[in-house]
Structure 1
Amino acid sequence: MSLIRRRSLIKAGGVLAGAMSIGGPTAAASGPVFAHGIASGDPTPDGVVLWTRVTPGPDALPGSGAGPDCAVDWEVAADEGFSTVLARGTATTGAWRDHTVKVDLAGLPARRWLWYRFRALGEVSRVGRTRTAPAADAPLQRLRVGVVSCSNWQAGHFAAYRHLAARGDLDAVLHLGDYLYEYAPGEYQARDVVVRPHDPPVEMTRLEHYRRRHAQYKTDPDLAELHASVPFVVTWDDHESANDAWSGGAENHTEGTEGAWSDRRSASQRAYAEWMPVRYEPGGSLHRRLRFGSLAELSMLDLRSHRSQQVSTPLDPGISDPARTITGDEQMRWLTGGLAHCTAQWKLVGNPVMIAPVRFPSTLSVEERRAIGELTGTPEVQGLPYNVDQWDGYTADREEIFALLRENGITDTVFLTGDIHSAWAAELPASPASYPLEGGSVGTELVCTSVTSDNLDDILRVPPRTASLSVEGAIRANNPHVKHLDFDSHGFSVLDVTPERVQMDWFALADRTAPGSGAQRSASFAVPAGTQQVHQVSEGIR
């Protein structure tokens, strides 16, 4: 089995309260056996997924298919010193799963900080910290998560992760996709400068490639620190497989030279399951729901595996064809059913691509239109770019969700989004053409910036907060439901959820290419409970 469930290990390892611990160092860095770090994810009230990768010998490199099977001990404790061990067990791994280990725990106490570690081949990993969720019906006054997406190794360093790890006040990190990129060196980087080249030095198309690229990203010290300090909740977007992926292909895939898309997608999903701390295995479903007491429920979407092919032009009537889908029928039923019957106050949706409708103004220059088209990866029609890779290209699915929210009076729905390398705060208009005069807003959307990937000023080759300002102003004027837009910043966001409001703070890096880059808060927007509206606030999260 590639997914080790603790329930199946109880007979072998059991639940050990106060048992003898593994022992060994608790240093911040691991030795060569645990060179790719440790991680946790998908917290539930009684469990969490633990992850690591072991290197049993110099031949057992990621993607090599070499190296012996080995036993890996794990344990979870109520304290950092491991004086009270709550659970322990042993997992077996080998080349058949690239020597990764994933342990799906259950039976742990709810809403607790816990510490965990692994041991193999005489070496003890660093100690990680994780947190279980509150009981489903437990009152909760605050949930705080980091929000990130679009972390391109070649375009910079991951200082954003370092700043999140240093906070110490996060319950989880929400990664909304493009955790890694498929491109070869020289194909996509920072204003055409490769800050640090990808390994392997080719575009990922095979299982070996995806495994090696995941391994490379896991060696980043700031990402390793964040993974070891807080659980992640992740979903993929397109670059975990290939640009603008859909169920039957991708813009960045050529069957004639790169093989069958089904093989490439299978390889990317298998490597993702092996290398990410996520409750997912190939052949299963990535979309899933996590509950945080009575305060919030988080629905994580997969908007690549089931979607119809993107139309080539927004003039195509297929844009509104109900037979075309971005979610797939089963996932749509799951999403709408969850929203309709949710008993938590806040309905949070982890959404890889923007759902708010966006009309690009005709006043943009030719160069600005080209840059926005490149940023969004979409075509220009009659001189204007149109984002057919996002929900704008699948309007029947979007209308089904908006109609559900509108007709059932569902409140406090917030979509949390990545992908577009820019910061947005938007209301979701019931009637986009007549907003705000008719129908009002049925929900809100908060979009995080990229960690490192190019955005508008990078594409235009101009200093930040110069040429982009007029573009942002024109888009906001043409889309009155868009309350905030920053096309230039790289960094991270922090989302704070209370019964009174949801607030997102955006933080901008000073220099994405500098490992030690500073960061400062660039904007804060809040959604007061019951309003379906978003507005700017001057005070950051405390």
Structure 2
Amino acid sequence: MDSLHRHILDLDRRGLLRGATALAALAAIGPARAQMVAEAGRDPFTLGVASGDPWPDGVVLWTRLAPEPLAPMGGLLPVARPVGWEVAKDDGFTRIVQSGIALARPELGFAVHVEVTGLAPARPYWYRFRAGAAVSGIGRTRTAPTPDAMPDRFRVVNAGCQHWEHGHFTAWRHIAEEPDLDVVFHYGDYIYEYAGRQPGSRGWGPAIRSHAGAETYTLENYRQRYAQYHTDPDLIAAHAAHPFIVSFDDHEVDNNWAGRISEEDGSARRPVAVPPEIFALRKAAAFQAWYEAMPVRASMLPRGDTIGAHRRLRFGRLATLHALDTRQYRDDQPCGDVTGRPCDAVLRPDAQMLGAAQEAWLLDGLAERPATWEILAQQVMMMRRELPNDAISMDKWDAYPAARTRLLTGLRDRRISNAVVLSGDVHTAWAGSVTAEDGSAIATEFTAPSVTSEGDGSEIQNSTPEILRRNPHIAFFNNRRGYTLHEATPGHEATPGRMETVFRAVPFVTRPDAPREDKARFVQETGQVTLHRA
């Protein structure tokens, strides 16, 4: 009998009878065992395993029981179930360092979030789960360095915008195969809320495979949609290979939502508005399903239609990653959210993108203990991007210039010379400088392309030459699908530190097994807000 089975069968010996939480767990085990006998032969780990938000002494482990992923409650009856977990120093689990039992509760869609502590810093670990006789796949994770350590390097991937219907998640397979990643940052659009289309049907983007169900509004709708995405084998492989830091953008709730305002905002384009108190019901369902589906800590459990998603993760003195939320606290998009020439509302001096509290939290954290590299990991493009006919996108930082100016002034005042902005959302790849009103470069920005959204893409678009001419601070554009890989180093003595960024792409997503192609490579040195193409 292996050690995990012994944990499940010998609960008293392991001390689970101590305390009110343990009593509740024990009470649930009897009926849960009976249910598992009835469910024998069905794999409850169809959605894979994941880890996230690494700290020096631990990490979050995640799974969700769903023997029938697209069925209500994953095909399970509403009874809490014990799920065993183990963490080991090797993938053969001969050196187990932590183990225990968690409850998969129906109130949380049978999701399991285990916050493991007591691990050693800056090293890999392997983990797995068991429910009854069923054993999950093995995941690999990695803890962060200690706060005072100076690692030789920090490697992070930035990726997102993975529309199920628009193609295959081959980019995630390539991410799974990336060696020695410290973490993957998922900037958002993990799911798309749109109703399913038949393959080959007309609509926005190609329809290669179909969403299950109609547009998502209820908790069960969102749970089903996340379950469908989690069944993708390439995404399962990426989660099992690396720890993730996840955020959300708009499609986890509703296209282009902003604060308390739905896409249906009463504008000329969408005259039938959804009242904020009604939209709050949809947000609450969406946030709960997002929490259930992500490897995040219990502190991020939503409270109704709000969730605390911004957080700061330190990787020694080399890099700090500030995961930001550019949806929940922003003002409604100005000018009816229609891409075009700026209207007067764009110039409002009190414009909010991060909200006052998150903005202060970010700037205070930048001043508190600066790292060699300060990474602002967020959703929408921050750099200026003037489009043909003097147009701007009203959903990006361009439509909130006062908020951008406050942030850039804060970076300058705090003498943050090595700020790197990661973004996504637009489905295309960009690299450039984030400039102040006077044109001076304050930070660099790398915008990752989509994993699949909008299909195969192309090398350039018709508007590309004109956009690059209007924006000399933009150094690169590409319209293939893929991700960005970033490697930061600290430098030594007379050798400056470097941030090397590679834009990795796949030539197609409308069929599987695309090869990986590198489209561009950039190097930035410490103390220099300048990109050099390598």
**1:495 partnered with 2:486:** yes
Q: Specify the alignment match of 2:313 in structure 1.
A: 290
Mapped contact 1:289–1:298 kept (Cα < 8 A): yes
Cα offset for 1:191?
6.2
**1:395 partnered with 2:401:** yes
Distance 1:189 1:392 in 2: 32
Q: 1:533 to 1:60 in 2, by over 3 A?
A: same
Mapped contact 1:151–1:452 kept (Cα < 8 A): yes
Mapped contact 2:264–2:274 kept (Cα < 8 A): no
Q: Specify the alignment match of 1:336 in structure 2.
A: 363
2:452 maps to amino acid: T
Distance 1:326 1:340 in 2: 20
Distance 1:108 1:35 in 2: 28
After TM superposition, list the pairs within 5 Å mapping 1:350-389 onto structure 2.
350-362=377-389, 384-389=390-395
Distance 1:150 1:99 in 2: 26
Q: Specify the alignment match of 2:423 in structure 1.
A: 417
Give 5+ residue unaligned stretches, structure 1: 1-9, 15-29, 363-383, 459-463, 538-542
**1:209 partnered with 2:209:** no
Q: For the aligned residues, what is the CA RMSD?
A: 2.5
Q: 1:321 to 1:129 in 2, by over 3 A?
A: same
SS at match of 1:164: helix
Identify which range, 121-130 or 288-297, moves more after superposition.
121-130
Picking from 346, 356, 361, the partner of 2:373 is 346
Mapped contact 1:63–1:208 kept (Cα < 8 A): no
**1:407 partnered with 2:413:** yes
Mapped contact 1:13–1:89 kept (Cα < 8 A): no
Between the two proteins, what is the percent identity of the paired residues? 38
After TM superposition, list the pairs within 5 Å mapping 1:419-458 onto structure 2.
419-431=425-437, 434-435=438-439, 440-454=440-454
Q: 1:108 to 1:339 in 2, by over 3 A?
A: same
1:195 maps to amino acid: I
Q: Specify the alignment match of 2:111 in structure 1.
A: 100
Picking from 256, 264, 267, the partner of 1:244 is 256
Q: 1:63 to 1:361 in 2, by over 3 A?
A: same
Mapped contact 1:63–1:209 kept (Cα < 8 A): no
Count matched residues.
Answer: 476
**1:310 partnered with 2:333:** yes
Q: Specify the alignment match of 1:145 in structure 2.
A: 156
Q: Specify the alignment match of 1:195 in structure 2.
A: 208
Q: Specify the alignment match of 1:276 in structure 2.
A: 294
Mapped contact 2:50–2:63 kept (Cα < 8 A): yes
Q: Specify the alignment match of 2:529 in structure 1.
A: 532
Cα offset for 1:473?
2.2
Q: Specify the alignment match of 1:116 in structure 2.
A: 127
Q: Specify the alignment match of 2:354 in structure 1.
A: 327
Distance 1:532 1:267 in 2: 42
Q: 1:59 to 1:266 in 2, by over 3 A?
A: closer
Identify which range, 318-327 or 410-419, moves more after superposition.
318-327
Cα offset for 1:60?
6.8
After TM superposition, list the pairs within 5 Å mapping 1:214-233 onto structure 2.
214-233=226-245
Mapped contact 2:72–2:220 kept (Cα < 8 A): no
Q: 1:58 to 1:141 in 2, by over 3 A?
A: closer
Distance 2:343 2:15 in 1: 59
Cα offset for 1:66?
3.9
**1:125 partnered with 2:143:** no
Q: 1:518 to 1:336 in 2, by over 3 A?
A: same
TM-score normalised per structure 2: 0.84
Picking from 514, 518, 522, the partner of 2:519 is 522
Distance 1:152 1:137 in 2: 40
Q: 1:189 to 1:117 in 2, by over 3 A?
A: farther
Distance 1:184 1:57 in 2: 20
SS at match of 2:97: strand
Cα offset for 1:139?
1.1
Cα offset for 1:282?
0.4
